[in-house]
Copies of this chain bind each other. A is one copy, B any other.
Amino acid sequence: MNKSYSLAESGCIDFFLIVCYLYVNVNTLIGGWIVATYKMKDIAQMAGVSIATVSRVIHQNGYVSVENREKIEKILEETGFVPNRIASGLKKSKSRLIGHMTLFNQNMLYEKISEAINREASENGYHVLTMTSHRGSGEEKNQVDQLIGQQVDGVIITSNGSIDPGLVSKMTGAGIPIVMVERCLKLKGVDRILVDDRQGAYGAVKHMIDQGHRKIGFIGIQSQHEVERLRLLGYKCALEEAGVTIQDTYISYSQTYNVGQGKAGIEDIYNRCSEDGLNFPTAFFATSDVLAAGILQFCYEKQLRIPEDISIIGYDDTLSLMMAPPISSMALPEEEIGVQGVRLLKRRMENKVLEVEEVVVEPYLVDRQTVKKL
């Protein structure tokens, strides 16, 4: 090595690189291939400088002579050197990792939010460690330990309003900032991105009322969670505002978000209407596109046309474009949700003490003309 070192000093960089390639960094032999990874120490040796100087070039701080800077930059380029984030993370007590806890869900909404989070994080020099759990599985406890162990700089919790608050405290207790997104818990020190679901439902139902509908069905979820309560509330507000009395017969709550339950919901309303001697609604609002899909299946069976026979508005705009026919839906600004989530987190990660923030985002109607004018 000493010999190689002097070679490098005397300017024979290229030859030296080959020597290095063969001898310095041979970590492993895989299938006969020589595999090399460079460390700052190696770069420093090749450039004939100290590792501190290399670091100064990489981080563009401190003083480095033009001559050395160029020499080092050239070597960096040639070797494709990538600094070891683990080592720097250890020294700086920053992993530049964001944890993302989410529930697995057959819904592109969460996929889209995830995507926005990943992208925004990446643009800010962070990476995302995703932990997917399954409703009621209790996996979160272990995941929290894993995230703390990985020294994540912050955590985003997407749509998991049922997470154990104790776990969240464990993280905040470890100094990890948290942002909850879409389905949130009101917790000390936890920022929130909320969707104005009351307004979303209100807007959808208002649109139907404006088109002349008065008998409007509601297909939602029986949920302890606030978002479903708000959607029902928005529905009721719109009706009350229009002076329409609320018919329980027109309201159906399912257990979970799935097509079958959506279809069962409208069938239930259909049957109860006959029993109660009421007219079947002329329009339906579903609190999720997946439930709306169930409504469409019902219509298909009964050979009802949309919007001629039945008007529909869905929610979340994940499937509506793909349905036959494509239906109107209240879309959520997934992009904004993800981006704002990362931004809030970033502010906390970078300057510790801040007020708790709450950002409210608004759904917007994607109108595909599935509400008939009466």
Contact = CB atoms under 8 A, between A and B. Distances in A.
A223 interface: no
Interface stretch (A11-19, A157-165, A169-177, A227-235): A169-177
A115 to B, nearest CB: 5
Given A87-B90, A129-B128, A145 B31 contact: no
Q: Give the copy number.
A: 2
Interface centre among A87, A149, A290, A296 (most CB of B within 10 A): A149
A212 interface: no
A36 to B, nearest CB: 7
A148 B127 CA distance: 13
Interface stretch (A47-55, A191-199, A213-221, A315-323): A315-323
Contacts of A172: 30, 33, 35
A108 interface: yes
A277 to B, nearest CB: 28
A174 B324 contact: no
Interface in A22-60: 27-28, 30-31, 33, 35-37
A90 B86 contact: yes
8 closest A-B pairs by CB: A296-B324, A300-B324, A293-B322, A85-B149, A297-B324, A82-B149, A82-B148, A35-B175
A313 B344 CA distance: 46
Interface in A43-90: 80, 82-87, 89-90
A370 to B, nearest CB: 12
A118 B95 contact: no
A90 B86 CA distance: 6
17 contacts: A30-B353, A31-B353, A33-B172, A35-B172, A35-B173, A36-B174, A37-B175, A82-B149, A83-B149, A85-B151, A108-B111, A111-B111, A114-B132, A259-B322, A259-B326, A299-B324, A300-B325
A203 interface: no
A290 B322 contact: yes
A322 B293 CA distance: 6
A184 to B, nearest CB: 18
A318 B290 CA distance: 13
Contacts of A145: 82
B30 A151 contact: no
Contact of A259 (B80, B86, B151, B321): B321
Interface in A280-310: 290, 293, 296-297, 299-301
A369 interface: no
A95 B86 contact: yes
B149 A132 contact: no
Interface string A131-161: 1100000000001011011110000000000
A106 interface: yes
B319 A173 contact: no
Given A30-B352, A82-B145, 15 more contacts: A28-B175, A30-B175, A30-B189, A35-B174, A37-B174, A86-B86, A86-B150, A90-B90, A97-B129, A108-B108, A127-B150, A259-B321, A299-B324, A319-B319, A319-B322
Contact of A189 (B33, B86, B104, B128): B33
Contacts of A175: 27-28, 30, 35, 37
A3 interface: no
Contacts of A33: 172-173, 189
Contacts of A82: 145, 148-149, 174
A335 to B, nearest CB: 12
